[in-house]
Chains A and B, each alone.
Chain A
Amino acid sequence: MKPLAALLLRDIRVAVRVGGGALIGVVFFLMVVTLVPFAIGPDLALLARIGPAMLWLGALLATLLGLDRLFATDFEDGSLDLVLMAPISLELAVATKALAHWLTTSLPVVIAAPLLGILLNVGPEATGAVALTLFAGTPALTFIGVIGAALTVALRRGGLLLPVLVLPLHIPVLIFGVSASKAAAGTTPFGAPFAVLCALTLMSLVIGPVAAAIALRQGLD
Chain B
Amino acid sequence: MIRLAADELACVRGGREIFQGLGFAVIGGETLAVTGPNGAGKSSLLRLIAGLIRPSRGQIMLEGGDAELSIGEQSHYLGHFDALKFSLTVAENLAFWRDFLGGQNEIDALLCQVGLQGLAHLPAGYLSAGQRKRLGLARLLATERPIWLLDEPSASLDTAGQELLARMMESHVGQGGIIAVATHGQLGPGAVKELRLAARRPVVGADEGKPR
A interface residues with partner B (beta carbon < 8 Å): 2-3, 5-7, 9-10, 13-14, 17-20, 76-79, 81-88, 220-221
Contact = CB atoms under 8 A, between A and B. Distances in A.
Contact of A3 (B53, B75, B101): B101
A14 B79 contact: no
B4 to A, nearest CB: 15
Contacts of A14: 85, 87-88
Contacts of A7: 96, 100
Interface of B: 13, 47, 50-54, 69, 72-73, 75, 77, 79-88, 92, 95-97, 99-102
A2 B100 CA distance: 7
Contacts of A86: 73, 100-101
A81 to B, nearest CB: 6
A19 B125 CA distance: 12
Contacts of B86: 19
Contacts, number: 79
B53 A220 contact: yes
Among B54, B80, B101, residue most surrounded by chain A Cβ atoms (within 10 Å): B101
B88 A221 contact: no
Nearest to A220: B52
A83 B97 CA distance: 10
Contacts of A77: 81-85
B88 A85 contact: no
A19 B123 CA distance: 13
Q: Do most interface residues of chain A lie in helix, strand or loop, or is the interface mixed? A: helix
Given A6-B100, A87-B102, A220-B52, A81 B75 contact: no
Contacts of A20: 87
Given A2-B99, A6-B96, A6-B100, A19 B87 contact: yes
B88 A10 contact: yes
B52 A6 contact: no
13 contacts: A2-B99, A6-B95, A14-B85, A76-B81, A77-B83, A78-B80, A78-B81, A81-B47, A81-B77, A81-B81, A85-B50, A85-B51, A221-B53
Contacts of B72: 84-85
A86 B102 CA distance: 9
Contact of A79 (B13, B47, B52, B83): B83
Given A6-B96, A10-B96, A220-B52, A81 B79 contact: yes
A81 B50 contact: yes
Nearest to A6: B99
A81 B51 CA distance: 10
Contacts of A13: 87-88, 92
A82 B96 contact: no
B80 to A, nearest CB: 7
Contacts of B83: 77-79, 81-82
Contacts of A18: 87
7 cross-chain pairs, A with B, having the tightest CB-CB distances, nearest first: A78-B81, A6-B99, A17-B87, A87-B73, A85-B72, A78-B83, A79-B83
